[in-house]
Amino acid sequence: MKQVALVTGSSRGIGRAIAAELVREGYAVCVNYCKSRQAAEELAAAIRDGGGEALAVQADVANRLAVEAMTAAAERALGPVTLLVNNAGISRQGLFQDVDDTQWDRFLAVNLTGARNAIQAVLPHMLREKAGCIVNISSIWGLRGASCEVAYACTKAALVGLTRSLALELAPSGIRVNAVAPGCIETDMVRALGPETRELLIDQTPLGRLGTPEDIAHAVAFLASEKASFLTGQILTADGGFIV
């Protein structure tokens, strides 16, 4: 069966690394973006130039109709989605009492409902085939909590519950559901915290460095592979020992 991956939020950062790694593993990839059109189209073009198959599609994952349209476009161009990676997410630091309704609702809509929308869009084909793989990108902050990132941590904790519960529900259909919980990764999100905070995070990481987007991409590729065929409902923490 042809392997087709849909990676949400894959125009940059961790998502971009995941898409590139999956291409190396033989997948055709749908590169999803919300606003970064140029970056997404450049990635898709680079994949095609290298002999792979790729399609860049705009969709705000919080919008169910947009996600359904994206999935249909991916299926027409590449084939039915056999691997879904729910990577799209937003974050913001701030005191909990300052989080207003608009911010709270947006966190839930993108980080949690976005995953729901994507799963429900690809699931009918997976159920018919009794095969498929879903990998959610959670966070160590969803496992241990994060001061001044309460809304973000709540949504990432919810993805853990989604992963474990859905794994149980879909196991009889042969569909595996797992998650990766990244630690402190060298991305724009961490760089925006400033050099002092970055160095502090390195000091708190037992392996003595920040992770790279490629570290997370390798974890996703493993969970999607036959080497992980007996793994479902698992949260693979890739954090350099940060929360051991």
Domain residue extents for the chain: 4-186+214-237
pTM of the model: 0.97
Range from 3-12, 51-60, 184-193 carrying the lowest mean pLDDT = 184-193
CATH code 3.40.50.720 for 4-186+214-237: yes
pLDDT at 51 over 80: yes
pLDDT at 147 over 80: yes
pLDDT at 1 over 90: no
pLDDT band per the 50, 70, 90 thresholds, residue 190: confident
Catalytic residue positions? 152
Which residues contact residue 140 at a Cβ distance below 8 angstroms, ignoring those fewer than 6 apart?
A: 181, 182, 183, 237, 239, 242, 243
